[in-house]
Structure formats: structure tokens, C-alpha cells
């Protein structure tokens, strides 16, 4: 089973840049999208379905053109869970889960901390989300939580750790949280199989950052520990250029 996660930075813009052609060529079984910035009725659904994804679920923010997540699938899930039941999270359309029997996949878009108010919001979200997931694991132990976590975990995950040590996304409190999240029972699937530096999933549009590979690895496919033996491959796909992020894949064998 191939699962891809991709912050598309606007699904309509990504589709104009060839996203669905790329999707048809790449053929993941499941693709989790973040920052779709659209309502379902604003998206060319026929194009998505023609690419081989008849099952697609959309969870948009209340605010138009902002945030939102989606999951596209080749096979129909048993259940779709929209949101977390926590109002302030769900208002921004940041969590969507599909269940297949005893296996679940979530698309997550964690807030960024672009200013003091948003950083406080992000820290609250992080604490509440970890508590939510710890409760969720009791009934859904075999989860893959894919998405844009907006956090680099370690120095290897960011191009200039010294310069960015006081920047949101690499603050000690954020790095500690994602470490605790992993320790709570998840595997960073990319780092599990890949120890090399200079592997990133997001680049600023400024200063030709992507061409110079001055990036951040802030997107993860977190695999629950009971599925550790099922992890066969994990790769970043930097040649896809539909967004300021790139897709990243985990392959599980059942």
C-alpha cells in the first residue's frame, strides 16, 4: 500500500500546474492533502476521478481560501471521520481520517506559528492533539498520521539550524513536542529508513531556496508502532513542483 502526503498550497493552483497528471503517473493507493484552500464544490472533481480516485473526502475550513484537508483513495473506506470534535480545531479544517477495518489513515495540517498569537494557538493545538491521539489509539491502534506538522524535529531536518533556532517551526518547545509525539507510539517513517541529511519537504519562495536546497523537513508520515514491521519504503519526492512543499511517501506491506 502506497500512501502519499502532500501540502498542495491550494488544490486548484496545484491542478493548474499538472497535479492530476502527476497523480495518475504516481498512482498512490491513498493520498492525503493539506492546505487545499478550497471548498469541495470549487474543485474539478471529475478531473480527480478521471485520474483514478473515485473516493475522495474533503474537510474545508469555515474560512474560504484557507487551510483544509482532503484524502483521495482508490478503494472505499469503511468509515470517514471529519474533524476531532474539538471546535477550534475543526473550524479550521485540519483533521480528516479514513478507516479500513483495523487500519486508519489521517490527514493532518498542524497550524504554523507565524506570530505570537498564532504560536500560542499552535502550542495549544499541539497539546490538545496529542491528548486526542492518545485517546484515539485505544480504539485505533494501527494509524498512519500523514501531514504537515510545521515542525522540524532535529538539526538534520533543517538547512540552517543555528540561524533558525528562534524561528517557529524549530523552537525548542516545538521540537520537544514532536519528540514526545513520536515517543508516545509513532515512527517517523522517513527517518526510520533514511539517515542522510539534506532531505527536505518545504522551501521558502525567497532567495531561490528550492534550487539551492535550503529547506525544512516539516511533513511526516507518522506510522503507529504496531505497524513497524509493515514499513517497507519511505521516500521524499522533490521533483514534484506543484507547491512550495513536495510530496512524501510511505509504503506498507500487509
Compute, in degrees rounded to 10, the torsion defined by CA atoms 137, 154, 6, 141: -10
Around Cβ 176, how many Cβ atoms within 10 Å? 13
- 2-252: CATH number: 3.60.10.10
Q: Exactly one of 99, 148, 188, 219 is catalytic; which is it?
A: 148
Q: Tell me if residue 148 is catalytic.
A: yes
pLDDT at 114: 86
What is the rounded distance in angstroms from the CA atom of residue 158 to the CA atom of residue 153? 9
Alpha carbon distance, N-terminus to C-terminus of the chain: 8
pTM of the model: 0.98
pLDDT at 5: 98
As beta bridge partners, residue 58 has 70
Domain ranges of the chain: 2-252
Grid coordinates belonging to 254: 500487509
Q: Consecutive 10-residue runs of the chain (254 residues): their mean pLDDT?
A: 98 98 98 98 98 98 96 98 96 98 97 91 97 97 98 98 96 98 98 98 96 98 98 98 98 96
Residue written as grid cell 521516500: 235
Positive or negative CA dihedral for 120, 81, 19, 187? positive
pLDDT at 41: 96
pLDDT at 115: 86
What one-character-per-residue DSSP string does 41-94 give?
GGS-HHHHHHTT--EEEEE--SSTTS--EEEEESS--SEEEES-S-HHHHTTT-
Amino acid at each position: 500500500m502506497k500512501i502519499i502526503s502532500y501540502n498542495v498550497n491550494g488544490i486548484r493552483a496545484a491542478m493548474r500546474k499538472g497535479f492530476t497528471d502527476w497523480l495518475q503517473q504516481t498512482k498512490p493507493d491513498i493520498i492525503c492533502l493539506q492546505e487545499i484552500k478550497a471548498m469541495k464544490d470549487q474543485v474539478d472533481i471529475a478531473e480527480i476521478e478521471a485520474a483514478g480516485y473515485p473516493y475522495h473526502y474533503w474537510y474545508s475550513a469555515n474560512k474560504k481560501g484557507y487551510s483544509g484537508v482532503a484524502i483521495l483513495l482508490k478503494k472505499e473506506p469503511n468509515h470517514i471521520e471529519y474533524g476531532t470534535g474539538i471546535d477550534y480545531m475543526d473550524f479550521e479544517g485540519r483533521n480528516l481520517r479514513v478507516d479500513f477495518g483495523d487500519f486508519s489513515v489521517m490527514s493532518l495540517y498542524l497550524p504554523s506559528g507565524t506570530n505570537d498569537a498564532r504560536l500560542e494557538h499552535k502550542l495549544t493545538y499541539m497539546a490538545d492533539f496529542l491528548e486526542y491521539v492518545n485517546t484515539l489509539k485505544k480504539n485505533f491502534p494501527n494509524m498512519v498520521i500523514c501531514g504537515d506538522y510545521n515542525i522540524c524535529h532535529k538539526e538534520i531536518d533543517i538547512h540552517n539550524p543555528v540561524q533558525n533556532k528562534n524561528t517557529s517551526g524549530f523552537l525548542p518547545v516545538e521540537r520537544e513536542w514532536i519528540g514526545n509525539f513520536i515517543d508516545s507510539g509513532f515512527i517517523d517513517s522517513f527517518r526510520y529508513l533514511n539517515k542522510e541529511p539534506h532531505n527536505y519537504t518545504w522551501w521558502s519562495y525567497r532567495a531561490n531556496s528550492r534550487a539551492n536546497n535550503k529547506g525544512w523537513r516539516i511533513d511526516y508520515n507518522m506510522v503507529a508502532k504496531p505497524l513497524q514491521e509493515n514499513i517497507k519504503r519511505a521516500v521524499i519526492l522533490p521533483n514534484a513542483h506543484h507547491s512550495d512543499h513536495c510530496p512524501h511517501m510511505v509504503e506498507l506491506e500487509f
